[in-house]
Homo-oligomer: A and B are copies of this chain.
Amino acid sequence: MRLSELSELSGIPAATIKYYLREQLLPPGHRISATQADYDESHLRRLRLVRALIQVGRLPVATVREVLGHVDDASLGRTIRLGAALWSLPHGPEPDDEAPETATARAEVDRLLDQLGWESVREIGELSPVHRSLVASVATLLRFGYPYEVGYLVQQAELMYQVAVQDLDMMETHPSEKEQVETAVAATVLYEPLLTSLHRLAQEEESARRYGL
């Protein structure tokens, strides 16, 4: 398809698409003449993702380029490719190594992961910014005098594991590895807020069931 058709189908103005092309957020179309190029389904899919990252994820263009670089890197194994793409997305706070609670938090997180038997996550360790955020959040709990109960977190983590299994099953309905990684990135930006809303609504429902409306 031509750029005008790509614009129509995606609902994104042609000028914006040209900007994405210049910024290398969208791969060039197949040249068919000196002034025209041909675009396909993969461009439409990529445009959709770029828009989600910029408009919903509020990512700066440089970060979008980095995320997409990992999505497109077929030399990586799937877990690393997924990881690299997702780790470039914004994540939670970094642990403060000056704070006395951080060492305790690290030990608590290790204990949690051991109880869960999440061996790969344990092996990847604080290379993962998600792991580091977890340490930071636990350190905050401790610093503010809130209890950290490993048993409670094990239960919650096991439920989140079931959610993750569904996430990956959904991802695998897409045919190519590249589309799967694209889907995972889009899901993190678009579905995570939805999951948070469902969690809070579930609390409202359960509260009404226990205590009345």
Q: Which A residues have a C-beta under 8 Å from some C-beta of B?
A: 10, 48, 51-52, 55-56, 77-80, 82-83, 86, 91-93, 118-121, 123-124, 128, 130-131, 133-134, 137-138, 140-141, 144-146, 149, 152-153, 155-157, 159-168, 170, 184, 186, 188, 190-213
Asked whether, in the complex, the Cβ of B163 is within 8 Å of the Cβ of A199, the reply is: yes
Q: Which of B131, B145, B184, B212 contacts A48 (CB 8 A)?
A: B145
Query: Inside 8 A of A79's CB, which chain B residues have their CB?
Result: 204, 207-208, 211-213
How far, in whole Å, are A164 and B108 apart by their CA atoms in the complex? 23
User: How far is B145's CA from A55's CA once the two chains are assembled, in angstroms?
Assistant: 14
User: In the complex, which residue of chain B has the Cβ closest to the Cβ of A134?
Assistant: B197
Contact B204 A128 (CB under 8 A): yes
Interchain CB contact under 8 A, B146 and A156: no
Among candidates B83, B201, B203, B204, residue contacting A204 with C-beta atoms closer than 8 Å: B83
Q: Which of A156, A186, A190 gathers most chain B CB within 10 Å?
A: A156
A194 touches B120 (CB 8 A): no
User: Would you call A194 and B163 a contact (CB within 8 A)?
Assistant: no
Number of copies: 2
**Hey, which chain B residues are within 8 Å of A165, CB to CB?**
206
A-B contact pairs, 23 of them (CB 8 A): A48-B144, A56-B144, A79-B212, A83-B204, A92-B193, A92-B196, A121-B205, A128-B204, A130-B200, A130-B204, A140-B190, A141-B190, A141-B194, A149-B170, A153-B194, A155-B166, A156-B195, A159-B160, A160-B199, A160-B202, A161-B202, A164-B203, A195-B199
Contact A201 B140 (CB under 8 A): no
Do residues A213 and B153 form an inter-chain contact, with CB atoms below 8 A?
Answer: no
| Bound complex: CA A166 to CA B152 (Å) | 8
Query: Given the complex of chains A and B, what is the CA–CA distance between A83 and B184 in angstroms?
Result: 33
B48, B82, B144, B170: the one within 8 Å of A190 (CB): B144
